[in-house]
Amino acid sequence: MSEPNRPIFYDPTQRRGVLLQRLLLLGGVLGATALAIFFASILSVPISHRVRLPVPKFLPDNPRRAAESDHAPLPEHTRLPLALPVGGEAPGKGEGVVGGFYVDWDEVSIASLRLHASELTHLFPGWLHLNDTGDGLRITDHDPADDEARALAQKYHLAVFPLVNNFSANVNDFEEGRLHQLLKSPSKRAKVAEALLKYVSEHHYAGINLDLETEREDDREGLAVFAQEVAARFHAQALQVSACTQVGEPEEAATIARPCDFVIPMIYDQHYASGTAGPIAPEPWAEHELAQFLKAVPANKTVLAIGNYAYDWVASKPGAKTLTFGEAMVTAQESHEGTDGVVTWDREQGNPHFSYEEDGSRHEVWLLDAATSYNFLSFARSKGVTGRALWYVGSEDPTLWSCFGRGKKPENAQALRTVRYGFELDFEGEGEVLDVATLPQTGERTITTDAKGTITDERFLSYPTSCVLRRSGKAAKTIALTFDDGPDPRWTPEVLDALKTAGVPATFFITGVNAQLYPELVRRAWDEGHDIGNHSFYHPNLALVGETRTRLELDATQRAIQAITGRSTTLFRPPYGVDSQPSTSEEVMPIAAAERLGYVTVAEGIDPRDWEKGSRKRTAAQLVESIERDAEAGAGSIVLLHDSGGDRSATVAALPELVRRLKAKGYRFVTVSQLLGQRRDAAFPPVQGRQRWLSIVDRAIFATSSGLGRILSAIFLFSLIAGALRLLLTALLALRHASQPAAVTAPDFHPLTSVVIAAYNEEKVIVRTVQALLASDYPNLEVLIVDDGSKDKTAELVQSTFGAEPRVRLIVKENGGKASALNLGIESAKGEILIGLDADTLFATDTVSKLVRHFSDPTVGAVAGNIQVGNIVNRLARWQALEYTTSQNFDRRAYAQLNAIPVVPGCVGAWRTEAVRQAGLYQTDTLAEDSDLTWRVRMAGWRLLCDNDARAFTEAPEKVSELLKQRFRWTFGTLQVLWKNRRACFNRQYGAFGMVVIPLLWVFQFLLPALAPAADLGVVLSAITGNLQAAGGYMVFFFLLELSAATLALQLDGGSQYSLLWELPIQRVAYRYLLFVVLLKTLRAALSGMRAGWGKLERRGSARIQRGK
Domain 474-687 CATH assignment equals 1.10.490.10: no
Q: Position 294: which residue type?
A: L
What distances in angstroms separate CA 964 from CA 351, 746, 930, 1022, one per listed residue? 83, 44, 19, 31
For residue 724, the model assigns a pLDDT of 78
Q: How far is it between the farthest Cα atoms of the chain?
A: 131
The yes-or-no answer on residue 838 being catalytic is no
1053 is a catalytic site residue = no
Going by pLDDT thresholds of 50, 70 and 90, the confidence category of residue 304 is very high
CA–CA distance from 909 to each of 287, 540, 755 (Å)?
107, 56, 10
Q: For the chain, what percent of residues have pLDDT higher than 70? A: 86
Stretch 999-1008: mean pLDDT: 84
Please tell me whether residue 218 adopts helix, strand or coil conformation: helix
Mean predicted confidence (pLDDT) in 3-8: 69
Q: CA distances (Å), 847 to each of 624, 702, 754, 951, in order?
A: 74, 60, 14, 6
Q: Measured between alpha carbons, how far is 39 from 44 in angstroms, rounded to an integer?
A: 8
Q: Compute CA distances 756 → 233, 604, 794, 820, whole Å.
A: 103, 80, 15, 12
Q: How far is CA 995 from the centre of its chain?
A: 46
Q: Determine the Cα–Cα distance for residues 190 and 135; give it in Å rounded to an integer.
A: 9
User: What's the pLDDT at 81?
Assistant: 30
What are residue 684's phi and psi, to 5 degrees?
-135, 75
| pLDDT score of 1 more than 60 | no
1059-1064 long-range Cβ contacts below 8 angstroms, 24+ apart: 1060/878, 1060/881, 1060/882, 1060/885, 1061/882, 1063/875, 1063/878, 1063/879, 1063/882, 1064/882
Contacts 24+ apart (CB under 8 A), 702-707: 702/515, 702/516, 702/519, 702/559, 702/560, 702/563, 702/564, 703/519, 705/516, 705/517, 706/516, 706/517, 706/518, 706/519
* Candidate list 106, 484, 630, 643, residue with the active-site label: 484
pLDDT mean over 472-487: 93
Question: How many helices (H) does the chain have, and how many strands (E)?
Answer: 36, 39
The CA distance from 873 to 869, in Å, is 10
Beta carbons within 8 Å of 860's beta carbon, 6+ residues apart: 854, 912, 942, 943, 944, 945
pLDDT at 249: 76
d(CA 371, CA 448): 10
Q: Is there a contact between 1065 and 1042 (Cβ–Cβ < 8 Å)? A: no
Per-residue pLDDT tens digits for 1046-1073: 787 777 777 677 778 788 788 777 877 8
Integer distance in angstroms from the first to the last C-alpha of the chain?
A: 42
CA 200 to chain centre: 39
Q: Which one of 306-320, 677-691, 881-895 scores highest in mean pLDDT?
A: 306-320
Residues near 871 by Cβ (< 8 Å), separated by ≥ 6?
877, 955, 956, 958, 1100, 1102, 1103, 1104
Least confident stretch, 79-93, 566-580, 582-596, 603-617: 79-93
> Would you state the pLDDT for residue 71?
31
Please check whether residue 157 is in contact with residue 199, taking contact to mean a CB–CB distance below 8 angstroms. Answer: no
Q: Is 844 helix (H, G, I), strand (E, B) or coil?
A: coil
Concatenated DSSP letters of 130-186: E-TTSSSEEE---SHHHHHHHHHHHHTTPEE--EEE-EETTTTEE-HHHHHHHHT-H
Residue 1098: CB atoms within 10 A of its CB come to: 12
Q: How many CA atoms lie within 13 A of 579 on its CB side?
A: 13
Cβ atoms of 953 and 869 within 8 Å: the answer is yes
Per the residue annotation, which of 122, 535, 642, 737 is the catalytic one? 642
Q: 240-268 burial by CB neighbour count: b if 16+ within 10 A, else e? A: bbbbbbbbebbebbbbbbebbbbbbbbbb
The top-scoring range by mean pLDDT among 394-403, 720-729, 979-988 is 394-403
Q: Which residues contact 1011 (CB under 8 A, 6 or more apart)?
A: 715, 719
Q: What angle do CA 858, 862, 866 make, to 5 degrees?
A: 130
Burial zone of 1 (CB within 10 Å; 0-12 exposed, 13-18 middle, 19+ buried): exposed
pLDDT, residue 90, reads 40
Q: What is the DSSP letter of 391?
A: E
Question: 897 near 981, Cβ under 8 Å?
Answer: no
Tell me which H or E stretch contains 250. Answer: helix 250-257
CA distance 841 to 720: 36
- Amino acid at residue number 550: T
Q: Which of 676, 529, 548 is nearest to 601 (CA)?
A: 676
Predicted confidence at residue 503, as pLDDT, reads 96
Which carries the bigger pLDDT value, residue 503 or residue 5? Answer: 503
pLDDT tens track for 410-447: 999 999 999 988 655 677 788 899 888 777 889 999 99
